[in-house]
């Protein structure tokens, strides 16, 4: 099964959860002013797009629903991008990280901080890379495709970053809106 097929199939597996604005804002102090940010798993309605745009950044958003496959983008296409930031589909996170490192750009990906966050392929992939983690508290209440807010999130969330944060681990308290 191709990655594109997996991404499309993942929609039926509840792999599409929207991120609230309060979970995007903690990154703002660590981004250069007027940056060019690519949000590869987002639509115009995304809080990533809205928050970064409002902060004065140039934001490019792409999404598989619009026929834009993250895995088809190569280094030459993203050469003008400063950061790649999003909440990727959980079901293909290993492939997402592999491709991000191949693209060679600073990135921040919002992930569920499960016990296996740094296991398997990710352990090998991350051990020789400069990886930073921003842990968020309280748990992020994601929003499903019908606009229903996850009232009691079963997992903690964090940003797994590369060349974005000033230190390896940061702990940030957010205020739910």
Rg, C-alpha atoms of the chain: 15
pLDDT score of 2 = 34
Q: How many folded domains does the chain comprise?
A: 1
Give the N- to C-terminal CA distance of the chain in Å, as an integer.
39
pTM of the model: 0.88
pLDDT value of residue 136: 94
- Looking at residue 115, what is its pLDDT? 57
pLDDT at 14: 60
Within 8 A by CB and 6+ apart from 137, the residues are: 156, 171, 172, 173, 174
Ranges of the chain whose pLDDT falls below 50? 1-13
Among 91, 37, 78, which Cα is nearest to 61's? 37
**CB environment 162-172: b (16+ within 10 A), e (fewer):** bebbeeeebee
Pairing of strands 83-86, 132-137: unpaired
Cβ neighbors of 147 (< 8 A, separation 6 or more) are none
Instruction: Give the pLDDT confidence of 152-176 residue by residue, as tens digits.
Output: 788 889 999 999 999 999 999 998 8
For position 114, what pLDDT does the model report? 67
Domain that holds residue 97: 3-173
Q: What per-residue string of b and e applies to 60-74 under the rule 16 or more CB within 10 Å gives b?
A: bbbbbeeeebbbebe
Instruction: Tell me the CATH number at 22.
Output: 3.40.50.150
């Amino acid at each position: 099964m191709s990655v594109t097929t997996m991404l499309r199939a993942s929609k039926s597996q509840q792999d599409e959860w929207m991120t609230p604005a309060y979970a995007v804002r903690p990154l703002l102090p660590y981004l250069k002013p007027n940056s060019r940010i690519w949000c590869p798993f987002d639509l115009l309605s995304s809080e990533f797009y809205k928050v970064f745009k409002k902060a004065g950044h140039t934001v490019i958003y792409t999404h598989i629903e619009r026929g834009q496959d993250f895995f088809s983008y190569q280094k030459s296409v993203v050469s003008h991008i400063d950061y790649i930031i999003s909440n990727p589909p959980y079901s293909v996170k290993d492939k997402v990280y592999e491709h991000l490192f191949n693209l060679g750009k600073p990135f921040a990906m919002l992930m569920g901080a499960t016990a296996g966050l740094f296991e398997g392929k990710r352990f090998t992939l991350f051990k020789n890379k400069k990886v930073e983690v921003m842990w968020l508290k309280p748990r992020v209440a994601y929003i499903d495709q019908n606009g229903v807010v996850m009232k009691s999130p079963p997992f903690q969330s964090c940003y797994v970053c590369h060349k974005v944060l000033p230190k390896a681990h940061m702990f940030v308290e957010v205020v739910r809106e």
